[in-house]
Amino acid sequence: MLRARLISRDRPEDLSLVLRRLNLSPRNREHLTRELGYAHVLVTGGRPSYEEELVPPYGSKEREKLPTWTPGGHVDHPGEVLLSGSRQQFDRLISLARKSPRTDGLARVLEEVLSPTPMTALTLSGRRFEWGARTYLMGVVNVTPDSFSDGGSLPDADSAVEHALKLVDAGADIVDVGGESTRPGSLPVSADEELSRILKVVEGIKRRSTVPISVDTMKAAVAKEALQAGAHLINDVTGFHSDPTLAGVVAAAGAACCLMHTQGMPKTMQQAPRYDDVVGEVMDYLEEGMFTATEAGIPRGRILLDPGIGFGKTLEHNLFLLRRLEELRGLGQPLLVGTSRKSFLGKLAGGKGPQERLAATLGSVAAMAVLGGADVVRVHDVGEARDALAVADAIRRARGGGDLYGG
């Protein structure tokens, strides 16, 4: 599959601020932003012939007008290339590639990653989620006896509803109700058992609040009744890879969905997970789920994606995915990321247990917001995460450098 992955890019907003400080005209600022702003893009799944068809010989002046072309050396992955250059150089390459049906696909994927289409705002329960405006909060409401950090803490529907309402008061934009533990090593439960745990909770939240309700399930039978009870979003940890009828249920209800990546099922997923390319394989898996969703009739504007931190991944896999969230943006969908209280944070914090991982959780949440990688973060401690995000989002959007910067 031909794909372009944005490895790094000078932040154009920062360059624009400096050019404004130099008192350059808007026209000159726009021109220099395209000429000076550099990007590095990894293209995978392409053909070695692209270079022959598009790139002039070394030493020619025409070659200097295009991005630097660095081909890969993997025999099993022919056609991989790292492209490095200014936006102006990429524009020239895209223009050249568009001239032939053999290379038009390259033009398309480069354009998608360098000039992504703005993501459609999502409305759930009357609330509008403007992606990119800020980092939104999903609060966790586990009604399970065996979840990894809070299993059994909400023994009945009334206590779960009260907990959900406290999360809303603390700043949750969505609440996520789960009736089946997906911690490493956990065993599945029946649809009937899952429904007995969640339905009264969903109905109780719906009666007392307008907050959007997500239900964490991989079963179509559970999703159908949960949506009828008032849920607005189905959060499937298998990304529509488990129950082939689930996407159709979500589509028929006009609901939204979050598709998560996992390698294996909870019972076995942490038994020596391995990848050749964790980012690429996560993207492939999520793209398959998106295809299933859209084929079933779910609009792309109602699909969120989750890289599945802790689901079939080692500590290093988790950290690498968090560092490279920008590559996942190439899929063109809002990203939901859950790191709250997870075991990899405990390891990094010196072996602390789930209830002692608040500081580590806030560190991960703030880092994701500053890096601009996550649109929604799924957390247990909503009030504390809200404060961390308020600071992180403000830092990311800071523009007040003084009068020379125009503000």
Whether 217 and 208 have beta carbons less than 8 Å apart is answered as no
Question: Is the pLDDT reported for residue 403 higher than 90?
Answer: no
The token pair at 124 is 């759930």
Give the model's confidence band at 404: pLDDT under 50 very low, under 70 low, under 90 confident, else very high: confident
Percent of all residues in the chain with a pLDDT value above 70, rounded to a whole number: 97
Give the model's confidence band at 407: pLDDT under 50 very low, under 70 low, under 90 confident, else very high: low
The C-alpha atoms of residue 8 and residue 242 are separated, in whole angstroms, by 34
The token pair at 382 is 């909503």
Question: Is the pLDDT reported for residue 326 higher than 80?
Answer: yes
Q: What is the mean pLDDT of residues 263-282?
A: 86
The per-residue pLDDT for 41 is: 97
User: pLDDT tens for residues 241-257?
Assistant: 999 999 999 999 999 99
Q: What is the mean pLDDT of residues 306-317?
A: 95
User: pLDDT tens for residues 123-142?
Assistant: 999 999 999 999 999 999 99
The token pair at 157 is 């529907």
Give the model's confidence band at 171: pLDDT under 50 very low, under 70 low, under 90 confident, else very high: very high
Q: Catalytic site residues?
A: 342, 378
Q: How far apart are the first and last CA of the chain?
A: 45
Give the model's confidence band at 197: pLDDT under 50 very low, under 70 low, under 90 confident, else very high: very high
The token pair at 109 is 């994927």
Question: Is the pLDDT reported for residue 395 higher than 70?
Answer: yes
The per-residue pLDDT for 152 is: 52
Give the model's confidence band at 153: pLDDT under 50 very low, under 70 low, under 90 confident, else very high: low
Question: Is the pLDDT reported for residue 96 higher than 90?
Answer: yes
Q: What is the mean pLDDT of residues 82-99?
A: 96
The token pair at 74 is 């993997």
Q: What is the pTM of this model?
A: 0.93
The C-alpha atoms of residue 356 and residue 176 are separated, in whole angstroms, by 22
The per-residue pLDDT for 145 is: 78
CA–centroid distance for 225 within its chain: 27
* Summary mean pLDDT of the chain: 92
The per-residue pLDDT for 222 is: 98
The C-alpha atoms of residue 16 and residue 37 are separated, in whole angstroms, by 10
Q: Is the dihedral of CA 279, 285, 288, 293 positive or negative?
A: negative
The per-residue pLDDT for 353 is: 92
The per-residue pLDDT for 335 is: 97
